[in-house]
């Protein structure tokens, strides 16, 4: 939620900041703004000045405003930028960051991601000392506190260290001031912040994605540290001023990975990147004979008696799929808990409890807090994340990295499938450690898992074929005029139904709920009529006949059904108004792995229903990709 970026060094400043914000826009798009330092001259005693451009709404509005500055900002060498997801104060130009305070040499500007919990108290104190507030934001207190320090003659570093000492809550901040026009100071507490290292220029941002076009070398900034950047130097220190030495880390993602690459949206691109995401995630972790190589986390798995998955949203659904896989293959009890509940639940566990936080971003504040709660009982923490160097990687005992590449679309797609792949590996790894299944059964499943990239590719090709397009168009038609929808599945298809419903509601704004098919008669069936489409995951084996009966019951009550079933499934075609086809070659695929494939048609369904309604699938209203506040 909210993205921050900073640049210091050369005259590319405005371009680098705007490029950075473009890659951070998934974090919020209520407003965007820049604060830039202009070099000093003889006339003003050689201190710099600050200039600002801010606009409400998406970044394109800020880009338009910059075009009207007619070269006023050329020659700028340092600045900070922000893209906002509003928490305190509605989206408006006044509430847009950067926030500023002070005059002349003491003028400061700050961008912030997070929430300052004691802002009201700080504001009262500042107002009593004569500061006039212009915005309704919590952030403005930071600007005034900083300006007080700089006004007393403190350096930007000293003023920021002192300011940070007054703040409660979560924050990543970057600040500039007129007195030091070639410097940026930044700090964080619980919100993410990285420093990017360049040649004669340096950067700071909420995530590495913002900077991949400029550098692949990064430094993590830890809680309680200040980073001071000039074009030629980066200094890390504690709030007390003790220097901190830290090795940089290299990020493998390339800059093209964060571009659209010819697709009309990131979501569509990311759906089509799923075979590659699965391939990269499985690579090196499954041997050719089908055995699992999880040497990276092996130690953590021995003696595990219980597993707890904690996650939010789509990642929570991945946890539910994992529960089914781990319990059925490894016979270990698994609990899956929404992280925002777990953190306050006073959870029960011991040193043999494996706690698995799942988080694409590795930044979700509730998931991080859930890890802290698990630490309270001495749980072993194995994080699943897609983001190298993210906060969660530093809180965990070990990490299983999904290798889906950067995901920009707010709706998670390829990272969900990559999470499923890694969690299926974990299930196989635990089953091997516990010897819960015969070796040849495990090797067979390993072989099947190795085939998943190819199976997803086949599914995408089928859905992208003429027949597939016609099927999707028919399914979209079923949703015309709908006022709600239900997604049904049993066993491992139940979490897929939940995920399908979440995808649809978040990008099309159509109320959609997922249920175990057997729950229908206990309430949800009351919703069913011709304006409440039912999306049915028929499944195979023990689940199929029962699911079909439940779906028939909805048809009898006027529901129009969209079935997800194999191409040649005549029973599905008989019942359904539209069938999203899966390749016939999936016959015999183990049900425990099926969520990896069955999710794909639901992602495309959500995508096309939203596009049919003329909506922006990459930036759905009210959402931000990384939820870094509670």
Catalytic residues: 2, 625
Least distance (Å) from ligand M6R to the CB of residue 232? 35
How does 104-129 read in b/e, with b if 16+ C-beta sit within 10 Å? ebbbbbbbbbbbbeebeebbeebeee
Kindly state whether residue 281 participates in binding ligand M6R, applying the rule CB under 6 A. no
Least distance (Å) from ligand M6R to the CB of residue 506? 6
Nearest in space to 593 (alpha carbons), one of 432, 454, 439: 454
Non-local CB neighbours of 245 within 8 Å, separated by 6+ positions: 236
Least distance (Å) from ligand M6R to the CB of residue 210? 16
Kindly state whether residue 190 participates in binding ligand M6R, applying the rule CB under 6 A. no
CB atoms closer than 10 angstroms to residue 549: 11
Per-residue binding string, ligand M6R, 43-82, x by CB under 6 A, is ----------------------------------------
Which residue, 317 or 432, is less far from ligand M6R as judged by CB? 317
Per-residue binding string, ligand M6R, 370-409, x by CB under 6 A, is ----------------------------------------
Question: Locate tokens 């974090």: which residue?
Answer: 27
Kindly state whether residue 547 participates in binding ligand M6R, applying the rule CB under 6 A. no
3-state SS assignment for residue 559: coil
Site for ligand M6R (CB under 6 A): which residue of 412, 445, 525, 537?
412
Site for ligand M6R (CB under 6 A): which residue of 21, 195, 315, 596?
315
3-state SS assignment for residue 311: strand
The one segment of 311-319, 442-450, 472-480, 524-532 that binds ligand M6R by CB under 6 A: 311-319
Name the CA dihedral angle for 617, 621, 625, 627, rounded to a multiple of 10 degrees.
-160
DSSP conformation letters of 196-238: EE-SS-EEEESSGGGGTTT-SEEEE--TTEEEEE-SS-EEEEE
Least distance (Å) from ligand M6R to the CB of residue 145? 31
DSSP conformation letters of 59-85: HHHHHHHHHTTTTTTTT--EEEEEEE-
Kindly state whether residue 314 participates in binding ligand M6R, applying the rule CB under 6 A. yes
Kindly state whether residue 410 participates in binding ligand M6R, applying the rule CB under 6 A. yes
Which residue, 34 or 369, is less far from ligand M6R as judged by CB? 369
Site for ligand M6R (CB under 6 A): which residue of 210, 312, 369, 563?
312
Report the alpha-carbon distance of residue 1 to residue 28 in Å, rounded: 6
Non-local CB neighbours of 153 within 8 Å, separated by 6+ positions: none
| Nearest-10 crossing angle of helices 595-612, 414-434 | 170
Using CB positions, name the residue nearest to ligand M6R.
Answer: 313
**Do 416 and 276 meet the contact criterion of CB atoms below 8 Å apart?**
no
Q: How many residues lie near ligand M6R (CB under 6 A)?
A: 16
Least distance (Å) from ligand M6R to the CB of residue 587? 30
Kindly state whether residue 309 participates in binding ligand M6R, applying the rule CB under 6 A. no
The one segment of 273-281, 358-366, 508-516, 586-594 that binds ligand M6R by CB under 6 A: 358-366
The one segment of 313-321, 483-491, 547-555, 611-619 that binds ligand M6R by CB under 6 A: 313-321
**Do 64 and 80 meet the contact criterion of CB atoms below 8 Å apart?**
no
Kindly state whether residue 191 participates in binding ligand M6R, applying the rule CB under 6 A. no
**Do 542 and 491 meet the contact criterion of CB atoms below 8 Å apart?**
yes
Q: In what order do the strands lie in the sheet with 561-566?
A: 512-516, 485-489, 534-537, 561-566, 578-582
Least distance (Å) from ligand M6R to the CB of residue 485? 17
Which residue, 33 or 313, is less far from ligand M6R as judged by CB? 313
Nearest in space to 85 (alpha carbons), one of 135, 5, 28, 7: 28
Which residue, 62 or 321, is less far from ligand M6R as judged by CB? 321
**Do 382 and 279 meet the contact criterion of CB atoms below 8 Å apart?**
no
Kindly state whether residue 209 participates in binding ligand M6R, applying the rule CB under 6 A. no
What is the helix (H) or strand (E) element at residue 31, kind and residue range? strand 31-38
Kindly state whether residue 364 participates in binding ligand M6R, applying the rule CB under 6 A. yes
Question: Locate tokens 């450690």: which residue?
Answer: 433
Report the alpha-carbon distance of residue 431 to residue 596 in Å, rounded: 20
Task: Write out the two tokens for 101.
Answer: 């305070």
Least distance (Å) from ligand M6R to the CB of residue 524? 21
Site for ligand M6R (CB under 6 A): which residue of 411, 421, 578, 592?
411
DSSP conformation letters of 139-170: THHHHHHHHHHHHTT--HHHHHHHHHHH--EE
Q: Give, in order, the Cα–Cα distances in Å from 27 to each of 86, 341, 504.
A: 11, 23, 20
Site for ligand M6R (CB under 6 A): which residue of 48, 313, 453, 495?
313
The one segment of 24-32, 214-222, 308-316, 532-540 that binds ligand M6R by CB under 6 A: 308-316
Which residue, 183 or 361, is less far from ligand M6R as judged by CB? 361
Least distance (Å) from ligand M6R to the CB of residue 423? 13
Site for ligand M6R (CB under 6 A): which residue of 183, 359, 493, 628?
359
Non-local CB neighbours of 496 within 8 Å, separated by 6+ positions: 317, 321, 489, 537, 594, 595, 598, 599, 602
Task: Tell which positions 501-540 bind ligand M6R, by CB under 6 A.
Answer: 502, 506
Kindly state whether residue 2 participates in binding ligand M6R, applying the rule CB under 6 A. no
Least distance (Å) from ligand M6R to the CB of residue 304? 23
Least distance (Å) from ligand M6R to the CB of residue 242? 33
Site for ligand M6R (CB under 6 A): which residue of 360, 485, 508, 628?
360
Chain residues binding ligand M6R by CB under 6 A are: 312-315, 359-361, 364, 367, 410-412, 502, 506, 626-627
């Amino acid at each position: 939620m909210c993205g921050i970026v900073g640049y210091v060094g050369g005259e590319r400043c405005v371009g680098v900041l705007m490029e950075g914000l473009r890659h951070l826009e998934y974090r919020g798009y209520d407003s965007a703004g820049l604060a830039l330092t202009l070099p000093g001259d003889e006339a003003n005693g050689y201190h710099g000045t600050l200039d600002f451009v801010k606009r409400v709404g998406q970044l394109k509005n800020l880009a338009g405003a910059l075009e009207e500055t007619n070269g006023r900002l050329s020659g700028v060498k340092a600045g900070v930028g922000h893209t906002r997801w509003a928490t305190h104060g509605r989206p408006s130009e006044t509430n847009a960051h950067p926030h500023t305070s002070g005059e002349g040499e003491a003028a400061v500007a700050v961008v912030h991601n997070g929430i300052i919990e004691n802002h009201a108290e700080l504001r009262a104190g500042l107002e009593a000392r004569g500061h006039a507030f212009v915005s309704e934001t919590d952030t403005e207190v930071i600007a005034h506190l900083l300006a007080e320090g700089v006004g007393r003659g403190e350096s930007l570093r000293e003023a920021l260290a002192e300011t940070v000492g007054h703040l409660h809550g979560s924050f990543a901040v970057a600040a500039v001031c007129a007195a030091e026009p070639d410097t940026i100071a930044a700090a964080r507490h619980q919100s993410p912040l990285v420093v990017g290292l360049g040649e004669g220029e340096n950067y700071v941002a909420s995530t590495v994605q913002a900077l991949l076009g400029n550098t692949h070398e990064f430094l993590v900034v830890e809680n309680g540290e200040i980073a001071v950047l000039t074009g030629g130097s980066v200094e890390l220190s504690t709030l007390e001023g003790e220097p901190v030495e830290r090795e940089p880390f290299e990020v493998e993602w390339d800059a093209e990975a964060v571009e659209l690459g010819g697709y009309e949206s990131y979501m569509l691109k990311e759906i089509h990147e799923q075979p590659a995401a699965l391939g990269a995630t499985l690579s090196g972790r499954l041997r050719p004979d089908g055995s699992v190589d999880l040497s990276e986390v092996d130690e953590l798995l021995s003696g595990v008696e219980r597993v707890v998955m904690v996650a939010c949203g789509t990642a929570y659904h991945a946890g539910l799929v994992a529960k089914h896989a781990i319990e059925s293959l490894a016979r270990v009890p698994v609990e899956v808990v929404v992280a925002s509940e777990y953190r306050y639940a006073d959870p029960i566990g011991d040193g043999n409890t494996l706690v698995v936080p799942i988080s694409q971003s590795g930044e979700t504040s509730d998931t991080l807090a859930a890890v802290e709660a698990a630490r309270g009982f001495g749980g072993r923490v194995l994080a699943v994340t897609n983001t190298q160097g993210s906060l969660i990687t530093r809180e965990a005992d070990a990490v299983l990295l999904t290798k889906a590449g950067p995901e920009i679309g707010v709706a998670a797609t390829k990272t969900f499938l990559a999470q499923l792949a890694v969690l299926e590996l974990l299930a196989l790894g635990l089953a091997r450690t516990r010897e819960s299944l015969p070796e040849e059964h495990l090797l067979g499943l390993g072989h099947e898992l190795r085939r998943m990239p190819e199976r997803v590719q086949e599914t995408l090709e089928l859905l992208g074929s003429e027949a597939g397009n016609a099927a999707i168009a028919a399914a979209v038609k079923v949703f015309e005029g709908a006022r709600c929808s239900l997604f049904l599945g049993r066993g491992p298809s139940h979490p897929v139904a939940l995920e399908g419903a979440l995808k649809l509601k978040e990008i099309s704004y159509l109320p959609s709920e997922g249920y175990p098919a057997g729950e229908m008669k206990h309430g949800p069936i009351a919703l069913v009529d011709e304006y409440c489409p039912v999306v049915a995951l028929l499944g195979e084996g023990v689940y199929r006949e029962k699911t079909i009966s439940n779906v028939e019951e909805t048809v009898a009550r006027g529901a129009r059904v969209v079935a997800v079933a194999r191409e040649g499934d005549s029973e599905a075609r008989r019942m359904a108004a539209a069938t999203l086809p899966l390749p016939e070659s999936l016959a015999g695929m183990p049900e425990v792995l099926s969520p990896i494939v069955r999710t794909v048609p639901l992602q495309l369904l959500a995508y096309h229903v939203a596009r049919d309604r003329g909506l922006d699938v990459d930036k759905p209203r009210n959402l931000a990709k990384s939820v870094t506040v509670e």
